[in-house]
Amino acid sequence: MSADLDALRGALLAWYARVRRDLPWRRTTDPYAILVSEVMLQQTQVARVVPRYVEWLERWPTAAALAAASRADVLAAWVGLGYNRRALALHAAAVAVAGDGWPADLRTLPGVGPYTAAAVGSFAFGAQVAAVDTNARRVAERLGHGPPAALLPPGRAADWNQAAMELGATVCTARAPRCDACPVARWCASAGRAAVAPRATPRRGGSERFEDTNRWVRGRVVAALAAGDGLPGDIAPERLERAVAGLVRDGLVRPVEGGFSLG
């Protein structure tokens, strides 16, 4: 088992070194830059994140720079990335870091959960911990060699975490795993018969249109206020009222004289 595990580790790390995507956050060990990337990548595709990540760091290159920005400016810069509360959590984390430095337990920062703490810890600080996102978890489950932490090569957690996530994102995917292209198929318990995640089925009578959701309305409101246009005028009043009330409750929008403003 130990020899197989060592061979598996070596094969995956060698594969990653050959084929890894050249993503900007992989070129740095700056914890702030890595935190920005991890927050942006939550439920957002890599292709959309790359240009926004570069723009963000050009505008706010340090935690102190972001901490000095207004909440309204941060929200406006976030438009199009979705889940705007992430922007406010990132801003709050920057305020905490600018004031007190990086904490020993990264989970004490606003908006930082176990995965993000492990990712920043391993990629920026060299912590020997498993960063288990959806892709890394799927890879570990299909390999069948124990939990993600058991697969970590001694002293190479950062490389392994990136490699496992890369494999899950590009080869060992949820619905179309390419076992014939997998560098570790030889040691995989699921090779050739990986369980495929079922596609979500719409609820009976439900709508799949994003434009019918409250989240879509919230996004329209934030984008309109960021552009200085006021509230959108083409949305049914009851939908608009519900969305604005939620945004105010979440601290994303505030009432001002004559209307509403971000943050």
User: Active-site positions?
Assistant: 38
Gap between the Cα atoms of 206 and 84, Å rounded: 25
Gap between the Cα atoms of 100 and 65, Å rounded: 15
C-alpha distances (whole Å) from 192 to each of 25, 69, 164, 174 are 33, 51, 18, 14
Burial of 38 (0-12, 13-18, 19+ CB in 10 A): buried
Q: Which two tokens stand for residue 211?
A: 């434009």
Helix (H, G, I), strand (E, B) or coil at 162: helix
Burial of 75 (0-12, 13-18, 19+ CB in 10 A): buried
C-alpha distances (whole Å) from 128 to each of 16, 34, 187 are 18, 16, 23
Question: What letter represents residue 43's amino acid?
Answer: Q
What DSSP string runs through 99-130? Answer: HH---SSGGGSTT--HHHHHHHHHHHH-----
Q: Is residue 2 within a helix (H) or strand (E), and if so which, with residue range? A: helix 2-19
Q: Which two tokens stand for residue 128?
A: 């020997």
Question: What letter represents residue 181's amino acid?
Answer: A
Residue 258 CA neighbour count, 13 Å, CB half: 4
